[in-house]
Amino acid sequence: MSDVTKEDVLAVLSKVRGPDLEGDIVSRGMVSDVFISDNKVYFSITVPSERAQELEPLRIAAERSVKAMPGVKGALVTLTADRKAGSSPPPRPQPPSSAGQSHGHASGHSHPPQREKAGVPGVGAIIAVASGKGGVGKSTTAVNLALGLQANGLRVGILDADIYGPSVPRLLKISGRPQQIENRIIKPMENYGLKAMSMGFLVDEETAMIWRGPMVQSALMQMLREVAWGELDVLVVDMPPGTGDAQLTMAQQVPLAGAVIVSTPQDLALIDARKGIAMFRKVEVPLLGIIENMSYFLAPDTGKRYDIFGHGGARGEAERIGVPFLGEVPLTIDIRERSDAGTPVVVSDPQGATAEIYRQIAAKVWAELGGRAPRQTPAIVFE
Ligand SMILES: Nc1ncnc2c1ncn2[C@@H]1O[C@H](COP(=O)(O)OP(=O)(O)OP(=O)(O)O)[C@@H](O)[C@H]1O
């Protein structure tokens, strides 16, 4: 079968139009440069930032029509925010509202004292992975970060706090119900050496959908305290997307040692990332840093990188607000496919460059938590 060309892709895209947009997305100049590598197609669609959410169906429609083309092996389409002429930098963030709340630090040793919250016995540090908005790859990052920490010799668990849209069961390919071991205590599920708990193991999504605030809170506390986590160096909490009241309460109730913010490089996502940072500052949770996900395209065959999404936005943002920058994860079909197949790249391609990126990010997170060298797994001795 002949190779897919840019012209073929643009011809298909010129039939895609938004719900109330006049003309098609190609003639309106909304389609970025199109990259094709190994018959996988990558591009972005530029939309006004305030309409990004409502135009998600447009992204899906464009992705579908390209995927349906003969010879196309995959397509990855993202929405990017419309930069106004002159490409002005994003507005400066507001300083924290009161003195003594700044957690920016360079050394990793200047975390403010934590307000007293009961910890979880046996669990060393609980860290939150959060994003200001959905779809930036927070769950994929949380899972690969947890596996990266583990690959660095740590004992790790992951708690999926997204009650309404749990993704950990799928990302770790775990199904079934957890076993009850005593009274109210249940055993965490496990795959790839990672202990995991998610609402997805306990109730179906329709049931969770009708739950209200207090029920969600108590479900979360149960998953934290009534699960036999055992001895863990780190428990990674995959937070629900957004920065509303539910997230705020959660950040307040869980005894967090720190938070990691996942953002894409676009202005749009950075505005939301800033909200996430402000939220953790408000509840005095130290910010371990920002990860830029979908930072640049990495062509699978040539390994060539393409900075088409304004790569580096999160690094600049981290510098501006004095939060550590933890690293850049490229946008690759490989990450998406492995993640969606429940075989995260850190365990399914441990020798690959992407797995190395996650392990390095994990090492930085661990250093920010206190700078200790990764613990070697102790040998098990039978007396
Ligand atoms: N670096 C990446 N390269 C390619 N695809 C990615 C990358 N990171 C995430 N994805 C893909 O993007 C999609 C959204 O990712 P994910 O579910 O992790 O996002 P999320 O921010 O947790 O979303 P939500 O908050 O809506 O649950 C998934 O299909 C995932 O495989």
Task: Identify the residue whose C-alpha is closest to ligand 1 atom 3.
Answer: 331
The answer to whether residue 97 is domain-embedded is no
Distances (CA, A) of 224 to 84, 115, 237: 45, 18, 10
Do residue 199 and residue 321 come from a single domain?
yes
Residue 258 assigned as binding residue: no
Of 81, 114, 131, the position where a domain reaches its end is 81
Do residue 205 and residue 341 come from a single domain?
yes
Do residue 165 and residue 76 come from a single domain?
no
* 104 C-alpha to ligand 1 centroid (Å): 27
Residue 18 assigned as binding residue: no
Of 81, 110, 131, the position where a domain reaches its end is 81
Q: Which atom of ligand 1 is nearest to the CA of 131?
A: 21
Do residue 187 and residue 44 come from a single domain?
no
Q: Which atom of ligand 1 is nearest to the CA of 336?
A: 31
pLDDT tens-digit profile, the chain (383 residues): 578 999 999 999 999 986 566 788 888 888 877 888 778 888 888 887 677 778 888 888 999 999 999 999 888 887 776 654 333 333 323 322 333 333 333 333 333 334 456 678 899 999 999 998 888 899 999 999 999 999 999 999 999 998 888 999 999 999 998 998 888 889 999 999 999 999 888 877 666 666 666 677 778 888 898 999 999 999 999 998 888 777 887 788 888 999 999 998 876 677 888 888 999 998 889 999 999 998 888 777 777 777 766 667 888 889 888 899 999 999 888 898 999 999 999 999 999 999 999 999 999 999 999 854 444 444 444 44
Write b or e for each residue in 195-223: b if 16 or more Cβ atoms lie within 10 A of its Cβ, otherwise e.
bbbbbbbbeeeeebeebeeeebbebbebb
Q: Which residues contact 248 (CB under 8 A, 6 or more apart)?
A: 279, 282, 283
The answer to whether residue 51 is domain-embedded is yes
> Is ligand 1 within 6 A of the CB of residue 131?
yes
State ipTM.
Answer: 0.97
Do residue 219 and residue 71 come from a single domain?
no
Question: DSSP secondary-structure letter at 241?
Answer: S
Sheet holding 40-47, edge to edge: 35-37, 40-47, 74-81
- Tokens 């920058």 found at: 325
CATH number at residue 20: 3.30.300.130
Query: Phi then psi for 42, rounded to 5 degrees?
Result: -130, 135
Do residue 53 and residue 159 come from a single domain?
no
Task: Identify the residue whose C-alpha is closest to ligand 1 atom 5.
Answer: 336
Q: Which pLDDT score is estimated for 97?
A: 31
The answer to whether residue 378 is domain-embedded is no
Query: Phi then psi for 198, rounded to 5 degrees?
Result: -150, 150
Number of Cβ atoms within 10 Å of the Cβ of 190: 13
What is the Cα–Cα distance from 73 to 300, expressed in whole angstroms? 12
Q: Which pLDDT score is estimated for 206?
A: 66
Residue 86 assigned as binding residue: no
Q: Which pLDDT score is estimated for 19?
A: 58
Q: Which pLDDT score is estimated for 158?
A: 98
Across-strand partners of 305? 298
CA atoms within 13 A on the CB side of 239: 32
Q: Enumerate the H helices of the chain as residue ranges.
A: 6-13, 56-67, 138-151, 168-171, 205-209, 213-225, 245-253, 267-282, 313-321, 333-340, 345-348, 353-370
Q: Which pLDDT score is estimated for 93?
A: 30
Task: Identify the residue whose C-alpha is closest to ligand 1 atom 31.
Answer: 336
Tokens of 359: 């392990």
Do residue 62 and residue 136 come from a single domain?
no
Tokens of 362: 């994990």
> Is ligand 1 within 6 A of the CB of residue 247?
no
Instruction: Say how many domains are in the chain.
Output: 2
Is there a contact between 77 and 62 (Cβ–Cβ < 8 Å)? yes
Do residue 37 and residue 128 come from a single domain?
no
Do residue 185 and residue 309 come from a single domain?
yes
What is the Cα–Cα distance from 311 to 293, expressed in whole angstroms? 10
Tokens of 319: 């510098």
Task: Identify the residue whose C-alpha is closest to ligand 1 atom 11.
Answer: 336
The answer to whether residue 91 is domain-embedded is no
Q: Which atom of ligand 1 is nearest to the CA of 136?
A: 21
Range of the domain at 59: 6-81
- Give, for ligand 1, the residue of 311, 335, 339 to mutate: max count of ligand atoms closer than 8 Å to Cβ: 339
Question: DSSP secondary-structure letter at 199?
Answer: G
Q: Which pLDDT score is estimated for 207?
A: 67
* 53 C-alpha to ligand 1 centroid (Å): 15
Q: Which pLDDT score is estimated for 131?
A: 92
* 314 C-alpha to ligand 1 centroid (Å): 17
- Tokens 């981290």 found at: 318
Of 28, 55, 81, the position where a domain reaches its end is 81
